[in-house]
Structure 1
Amino acid sequence: MDSNRKTAIIVGILFITATVAYSLGVILLEPILRASDYLTMASENENTMIIGSFLVLIDAVAVAGIGIMIYPVLKKHSGSLALGYAGARIAEGVLFTINVIAILTLLALAQDLAKAGYPDTAYYQTFGTVLLAAGDLAFLFGFAVAFTISALILNYLLYRSKLVPRWLSGWGFIGAALLWVYYLLQPFNIYLLGILFVPIAMQEMVFAVWLIVKGFDPDAIDTEPSGTV
């Protein structure tokens, strides 16, 4: 098995790992963080908060790993775009890590509130609101900006280089564009807007399985790029 084949398998596994870890983390954390009494919920569900945060951290490491692992393959076709993709994925990982730090700080705050016997909660509520907002903002930039930009770069470069079938990379590019539309329209609370998440979510899993089973097209890898843009 050559290095490019190994890279494809690792990248595919990392895509699946990131998606599964993120999904499970959100399932565990969202009911607590979105509750009206989130500080009480957090203090009463310490293990759930820790496990959910750990899963989001796994996602952060996995997405950064994707950018690093696939860089040597992509740079053969465009050094600048490959670097941009790796940078965007690393930034995404950093932002998700900031989100985890905010969540764990919120947990510490909730535990302190519980130990104090739930006195006047104005201070705790204010600090908790700030932590929630900081975590949400980091997550928003990680997903709406870093992830979306990285997906556009990756699928554009895959389409141009033919490292995978063009129907697959074209699907990913359109899915990433639709995700951007989702975030642009989100303030308008349009019904069923969440369906715009589906194309890129499905494409990433098909892409991951493709890399694990078939890998990159060896002919495309060996083809000299026409430029460095």
Structure 2
Amino acid sequence: MSLRTSGRYTGAMFLLAFVAYGAGSGMAGQFLGSALVVLNSAMVAAIGVLAFRALRRPHPAIAWTYLVARGAEAFLLTAGIVLLDAFGDGAADIAYQAAMLLLSLGSLPFCLALYRQRWVPGWLAIWGFAGYALLATGSVAELMGASIGLALAIPGGLFEIVFGLLLLTRGFAPSGAARPENAPDEAAVDGDAQARGAALGAGAGLLVMAVLAGLANFGVVERLVSTDAAETTTRLLSNQTAFVLAIVALLAVAFLDVLVAWALRAFFGDAHRAVARLSAWCRTVYAVVFAVAITHLIAAAGLLHDAAATDRLSSRVYAQVTAFEEIWSLGLILFGVHLLLIGWLAWRSRTVPTWLAALVAIAGAGYLADSIGALVSAAYTVQVAAVTFVGEVALLVWLLVFARSRGDRRTTVKVDVRQKQPA
């Protein structure tokens, strides 16, 4: 499929999704309205796939980011329909604002890619970047209780209409100065640069995930949740904003999980392509399970937002928090398998030290032991992963050092080659 054709399809999806969601949200609570929102989610996912096909050669990292952002948006908008029916407006609104935030963060680099490739006029790419930045700001403000999101969403919404119309008429049409669509890309030709980029992407993603997960889970959720339902509800009611922001941070972690999964696949693909792909799918499915678990926290936050403190509220909120923990624990089985596979790939790799491969595999075994132990026996209280997670930290650090050292070596080689050239 040519750039022009994929661009025209993308434009059609932008416009149809805009209409479907607008009509569907106007019929909230009705079957037809829910069906239109689900249809919108399907078209949103299609936008991500079409853009990925166009961008994966010139800008693979941006292509993956935009694809996952659109997938996250589709998931959360669909989840919002379920949450609206079961838990009310508060939960649905949190899901919607989180969807808009993740969409915005993924669309910022997308607009930069549009500008660099000259697939659209420069002013339109800049408009899109500014519009999505405002949309992200509005979403964060709404999540924190400030009702300014609608006004800040207008520039981004208008951009999507204009962008969709432009793509529908001309597709992704590069100017004469842009790279020809069939020209080879350095990322596709230079294996060393590809490995370095994959290592940097995976390492940076793991680092951001560690910070977000630490702040959200250990700093907020585990601090507020106790073994008593009434006490937990009281704490959450007193810290609703922090709880909502922690939920969004955990959603961002799930988002990054997918990006890290495929960055690791790219890095370890030479060790064994099929196993690397399997490991990526294990982590991707884990991320989806984790996102499903997080929707229970969204439900709890929605209940807290819409209802007064009662015994019934306490039991319902605590049930959702418990469901989050149980589903996440089950998902960690897949995460453990992923780490075991990464450990095996690292052992086969010619660049990763054996001790690191062993630590990563041990970390995976720790997650498996904890998750299966909790599944088999309710009395299981051992936390093996609290010790074995060191393997994940070691992998994170090693990937960043590898990316940096290879970058320095690559620069040195280029300098040496230039020095050897005749004057």
Decide: shared fold, TM above 0.5: yes
Q: Does 1:34 align with 2:222?
A: no
* Runs of 4+ more than 6 Å apart: none
Superposition map of 1:54-203 within 5 A: 54-114=248-308, 118=309, 121-122=311-312, 124-143=313-332, 145-186=333-374, 187=377, 188-189=379-380, 193-199=382-388, 201-203=389-391
Pick closer, same or farther for the CA change 1:182–1:126 going to 2, 3 Å: closer
The residue aligned with 2:18 is none
5+ residue gaps, structure 2, are 1-191, 407-423
Secondary structure of the 1:97 match is helix
Residue type of the partner of 2:241? N
Secondary structure of the 2:276 match is helix
Q: Does 1:10 align with 2:204?
A: no
The answer to whether the 8 Å contact 1:14/1:66 transfers is yes
Q: 1:216 and 1:135 mapped to 2: Cα distance?
A: 38
The answer to whether the 8 Å contact 1:163/1:216 transfers is no
Secondary structure of the 2:270 match is coil
- 1:109, distance to aligned residue in structure 2 (A): 0.8
CA-based RMSD of the aligned residues comes to 2.4
Residue type of the partner of 2:297? I
Query: What TM-score does the superposition give when structure 1 sets the normalisation length?
Result: 0.80
Q: 1:210 and 1:167 mapped to 2: Cα distance?
A: 11
- 1:35, distance to aligned residue in structure 2 (A): 5.4
Q: 1:33 and 1:88 mapped to 2: Cα distance?
A: 29
5+ residue gaps, structure 1, are 219-229
- 1:71, distance to aligned residue in structure 2 (A): 1.7
Query: What TM-score does the superposition give when structure 2 sets the normalisation length?
Result: 0.46
Number of residues of Structure 1 aligned to a counterpart in Structure 2: 209
The answer to whether the 8 Å contact 2:296/2:320 transfers is yes
Q: Could you say which structure has the greater relative contact order, defined with CA pairs below 8 angstroms and 6 or more residues apart? A: 1
- 1:82, distance to aligned residue in structure 2 (A): 1.3
When Rg is computed on C-alpha atoms for both structures, the one with the higher figure is 2
